[in-house]
Amino acid sequence: MSRLTARELTLAYEDRTVVHELDLAIPDGKVTVIVGPNACGKSTTLRALGRLLRPAGGAVLLDGEELAKLPTKRIARSIGLLPQTPVAPEAITVADLVSRGRQPHQAWWKQWSEEDERAVTEAMDRTDVAALADRSVDELSGGQRQRVWIAMALAQETDLLLLDEPTTYLDISHQVEVLDLVRRLNRLRGRTVVVVLHDLNQAARYADHLVAMKAGRVVAEGPPSEIVTEQLVRDVFGLSSVVVPDPVTGSPLVVPGAPWEGDGAGAGAVTSAGTDTVKG
């Protein structure tokens, strides 16, 4: 079963086609991670799944209905989206920005409630931004701002959560915290999550379902243990590598070839560019 699907989806910016007739079904109740090289269409696909981009062809379907034809508020109650470069209103505080995640649940007869307060408080606690509640978002570091935006998406409390490179600007410790948070939301709350990531090893570690894209098309999809191979890494990223089991999780771990060492490199050493070095 899949509540969110794409059928023959074509996406373009003016006259430049970025995604070509893509078919994709997001598995319900799973963490799906989309990976691929720069400019392969992964973030563009996520924008279309959240109705930030209208298809040039085909359609995105939510519960069998075309997303483009559904009321905005209905979509916002089902799909939470954190885009790659969100922009906060000038001088807004952290608490006010996170509270905006509750707007889809508001109506003229139903204003701020205890349920809204609980959702905002929990979202801020989970992302470790509660201590920043009264600070202006403008004053925060890049990593702090990213966690605040994630808190806003969490406060929306949708069944489907789309995150476009949520670990950007974060150090390795906070990257792991965010991805662990994604895992907890999925495992404990049953949320379906779609994440775009640059780091293939993080994707393989946290994904239930991995989608590898190249040049606007899906090259492979499935459990990371089944699709992450040395051949896939070469085909998608142009990188020679060795794939070994992660010593902690058992998930595939991609180890790039030996770094370039100039004329002293041994014959046949594999470089990250995917070529063999020649002994000088």
Is the pLDDT at 265 greater than 70? The verdict is no
Q: What pLDDT score was predicted for residue 254?
A: 97
Give the separation between CA 118 and CA 82, rounded to whole angstroms: 21
Residue 259 phi, psi dihedral angles, 5° rounding: -70, 155
Q: What pLDDT score was predicted for residue 264?
A: 56
Residues in CB range of 254: below 8 A, 6 or more apart: 200, 201, 204, 228, 233, 239, 241, 242, 243
User: What are 134-177's pLDDT values in tens digits?
Assistant: 999 999 988 888 889 989 988 988 899 999 999 887 889 888 88
Q: What pLDDT score was predicted for residue 120?
A: 94
Longest dimension (CA), the chain: 78
Q: What pLDDT score was predicted for residue 109?
A: 62
Q: What pLDDT score was predicted for residue 107?
A: 67
Answer with the residue of higher pLDDT: 264 or 118: 118
Is the pLDDT at 112 greater than 90? The verdict is no
**What does the mean pLDDT of the chain come to?**
89
DSSP 221: E
Q: What pLDDT score was predicted for residue 218?
A: 96
Residue 257's CB is within 10 A of a number of other CB atoms, namely: 18
Is the pLDDT at 55 greater than 60? The verdict is yes
Answer with the residue of higher pLDDT: 107 or 150: 150
Token code pair at residue 46 = 């996520």
Q: How far is CA 131 from CA 167, 182, 223, in A?
A: 20, 21, 38
Q: Decide: 120 and 93 in contact? Cβ < 8 Å.
A: no
User: What are 74-102's pLDDT values in tens digits?
Assistant: 898 899 998 887 888 889 999 999 999 88
Q: What pLDDT score was predicted for residue 238?
A: 94
Query: Within 13 A of 197's CA, how many CA atoms are on the CB side?
Result: 25
User: What are 178-237's pLDDT values in tens digits?
Assistant: 899 889 889 988 899 999 999 999 999 999 999 999 999 999 999 999 999 999 999 999
User: What are 7-34's pLDDT values in tens digits?
Assistant: 999 999 988 999 999 999 999 999 999 9
Residues in CB range of 225: below 8 A, 6 or more apart: 250, 251, 252
What is the four-CA torsion angle of 88, 92, 95, 99, rounded to 10 degrees? Answer: -60
Q: Decide: 64 and 70 in contact? Cβ < 8 Å.
A: no
Give the separation between CA 154 and CA 147, rounded to whole angstroms: 10
Q: Decide: 36 and 24 in contact? Cβ < 8 Å.
A: no
Q: How many helices (H) and strands (E) does the chain have?
A: 9, 12
Domain limits, the chain: 2-256
Q: Return the ∠ at Cα 277 (arms to 242 and 247), rounded to 5°.
A: 20
DSSP string, 155-173: HT--SEEEEESTTTT--HH
For domain 2-256, which CATH number applies: 3.30.70.20, 3.40.50.300, 3.30.565.10, 3.40.50.880? 3.40.50.300
- Report which of 88, 98, 94 is spatially closest to residue 134, judged by C-alpha positions: 94
Q: What pLDDT score was predicted for residue 220?
A: 97
Share of the chain above pLDDT 70, in %: 92
Q: Decide: 233 and 254 in contact? Cβ < 8 Å.
A: yes
Q: Decide: 148 and 136 in contact? Cβ < 8 Å.
A: no
Token code pair at residue 259 = 């770094």
Is the pLDDT at 278 greater than 70? The verdict is no
Answer with the residue of higher pLDDT: 21 or 274: 21
Q: What pLDDT score was predicted for residue 108?
A: 60
